[in-house]
């Protein structure tokens, strides 16, 4: 059974450049695969991925969902006798998988390189400056509320500025993701798997359950703490998504439904008082996000001697989320304290990075939520199940 191997040497270089710099140290002992708690019995990872990556077998790597079934627990990295850091290598391969399948392709290249960071930031800065009512650095140029208070909606009008810009950014991200998912699904199908499960919808539901509970993630050993940080960050995002939907209902929904504001619920334009349930929910979500992302950073630093420090790709997303959470909370605090000279610039930065997160999500590490979900659905659909851990009787 002869097999002609077509190594893609450029791909090897890209993996090495993207955070897999120790790839070539691997000597194929398969300690990694055995210490992994989330791998599977039949075609376990990441030993084979290390070999494919060393040989530049890009198609083999991308056409299997395995790279996304890895949660980068780094148990493999901690036990690797060679310091080849399989966890980091698989992270690099995932990064390249996003780059390969995202559309339009050139943006993937830009988001992956620190060289273009300024350019990418310039896009929302310019758009927002054009839309802004006044100069964020000159508070006097910005209209105030009736009592002289800071009202961000007067700086960035919701109907005419915020909505068009962010709906456009989100729409772009959705379209890009849909194209990306389609491309990726086709790549996966080329891997020669045979569907075993009955329906895609049932596998999707079981995948969703997995995501909500982080069951696989919590099997991690060396970096167990990461699970909690990720879970908190994840639910903070869910909370903020609910907040956004809720805010849209406040803004437009009550008019459509013909309901008047009642009790603690305040409809119409922001800002809402601190006692409004929307406000309370939003603030809790924001605090969850800043706590979650702080823990992410903290655990990454604590785990780095065993797990590696991560790549530009990882830290870009972490930094963006951190800035969004910090500037979001600061914007509210500065508004309440009426410190106009700082409030407007901070709010402007906040919007810039929210745009960054949304518009570039299909190309940044944020895309992991989509690609990982797709791969998990594909894996379930094709009957790939994670290995059962040995149940051990304690030696007495």
Residues that bind other proteins (CB under 8 A): 27-35, 39-44, 47-48, 79, 81-83, 387, 390-395
Instruction: Report cis status (omega within 30 of 0) of the bond before 46.
Output: yes
Of 84 and 96, the one with the shorter C-beta distance to other proteins is 84
Of 40 and 135, the one with the shorter C-beta distance to other proteins is 40
The rounded radius of gyration (Å) of the Cα atoms in the chain is: 23
CA distances from 188 to 46, 205, 365, 381 (A): 17, 20, 20, 12
Q: What's phi and psi for 387, nearest 5 deg? A: -70, 155
Of 2 and 390, the one with the shorter C-beta distance to other proteins is 390
Instruction: Tell me 73's DSSP state.
Output: -
Q: What is the dihedral of CA 147, 153, 155, 158, to 10 degrees?
A: -160
Rounded to a whole number of angstroms, the minimum distance from the CB of residue 396 to other proteins is 9
Rounded to a whole number of angstroms, the minimum distance from the CB of residue 34 to other proteins is 3
| Cβ–Cβ < 8 Å for 68, 376 | yes
Rounded to a whole number of angstroms, the minimum distance from the CB of residue 78 to other proteins is 8
Of 140 and 392, the one with the shorter C-beta distance to other proteins is 392
Rounded to a whole number of angstroms, the minimum distance from the CB of residue 342 to other proteins is 50
Rounded to a whole number of angstroms, the minimum distance from the CB of residue 39 to other proteins is 7
Q: What angle do CA 300, 311, 72 make, to 5 degrees?
A: 55
Of 260 and 396, the one with the shorter C-beta distance to other proteins is 396
Rounded to a whole number of angstroms, the minimum distance from the CB of residue 255 to other proteins is 60
- Residues in the chain, overall count: 396
Contacts of 253-257 spanning 24+ positions with Cβ under 8 A: none
Q: What is the dihedral of CA 204, 383, 193, 185, to 10 degrees?
A: 10
Rounded to a whole number of angstroms, the minimum distance from the CB of residue 390 to other proteins is 4
Of 29 and 241, the one with the shorter C-beta distance to other proteins is 29
CA atoms within 13 Å, Cβ hemisphere of 94: 32
C-alpha 283, offset from chain centre: 21
| Cβ–Cβ < 8 Å for 178, 374 | no
Of 23 and 132, the one with the shorter C-beta distance to other proteins is 23
| Cβ–Cβ < 8 Å for 53, 12 | yes
Longest CA pairwise span in the chain (Å): 81
Of 222 and 325, the one with the shorter C-beta distance to other proteins is 222
Structure tokens at 326: 């910090």
Rounded to a whole number of angstroms, the minimum distance from the CB of residue 46 to other proteins is 11
Of 51 and 158, the one with the shorter C-beta distance to other proteins is 51
- Separation of alpha carbons 99 and 61, rounded Å: 14
Rounded to a whole number of angstroms, the minimum distance from the CB of residue 338 to other proteins is 57
Instruction: Tell me 153's DSSP state.
Output: H
């Amino acid at each position: 059974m002869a097999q002609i191997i077509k190594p893609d040497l450029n791909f090897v270089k890209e993996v090495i450049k993207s955070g897999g710099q120790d790839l070539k140290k691997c000597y194929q002992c398969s300690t990694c695969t055995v210490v992994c708690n989330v791998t599977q019995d039949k075609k376990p990872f990441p030993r084979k991925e290390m070999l494919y990556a060393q040989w530049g077998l890009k198609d083999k790597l991308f056409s299997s969902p395995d790279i996304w079934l890895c949660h980068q627990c780094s148990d493999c990295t901690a036990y690797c006798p060679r310091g080849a850091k399989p966890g980091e290598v698989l992270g690099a391969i995932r990064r390249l998988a996003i780059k390969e399948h995202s559309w339009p392709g050139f943006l993937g290249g830009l988001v992956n390189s620190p060289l273009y960071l300024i350019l990418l930031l310039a896009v929302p800065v310019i758009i927002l400056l054009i839309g802004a009512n006044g100069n964020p650095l000159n508070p006097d140029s910005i209209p105030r509320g009736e009592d002289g208070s800071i009202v961000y909606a007067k700086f960035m009008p919701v109907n005419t500025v915020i909505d068009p810009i962010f709906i456009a950014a989100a729409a772009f991200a959705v379209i890009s993701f849909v194209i990306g998912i389609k491309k990726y699904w086709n790549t996966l199908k080329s891997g020669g798997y045979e569907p075993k499960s009955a329906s895609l919808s049932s596998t999707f539901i079981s995948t969703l359950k997995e995501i909500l509970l982080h069951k696989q993630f919590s099997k991690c050993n060396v970096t167990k703490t990461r699970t909690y940080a990720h879970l908190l960050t994840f639910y903070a995002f869910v909370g903020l998504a609910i907040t956004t939907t809720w805010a849209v209902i406040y803004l437009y929904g009550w008019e459509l439904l013909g309901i008047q504001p009642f009790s603690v619920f305040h409809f119409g334009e922001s800002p809402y008082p601190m006692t409004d349930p929307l406000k309370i929910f939003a603030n809790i979500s924001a605090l969850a996000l800043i706590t979650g992302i702080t823990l992410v950073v903290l655990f990454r630093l604590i785990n780095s001697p065993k797990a590696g420090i991560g790549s530009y790709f990882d830290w870009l997303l972490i930094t963006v989320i951190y800035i969004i959470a910090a500037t979001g909370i600061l914007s509210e605090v500065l508004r309440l304290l009426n410190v106009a000279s700082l409030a407007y610039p901070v709010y402007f930065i906040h919007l810039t990075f929210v745009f960054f997160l949304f518009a570039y999500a299909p190309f940044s590490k944020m895309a992991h939520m989509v690609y990982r979900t797709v791969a998990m659905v594909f894996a379930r659909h094709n009957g790939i199940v994670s290995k059962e851990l040995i149940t051990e009787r304690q030696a007495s």
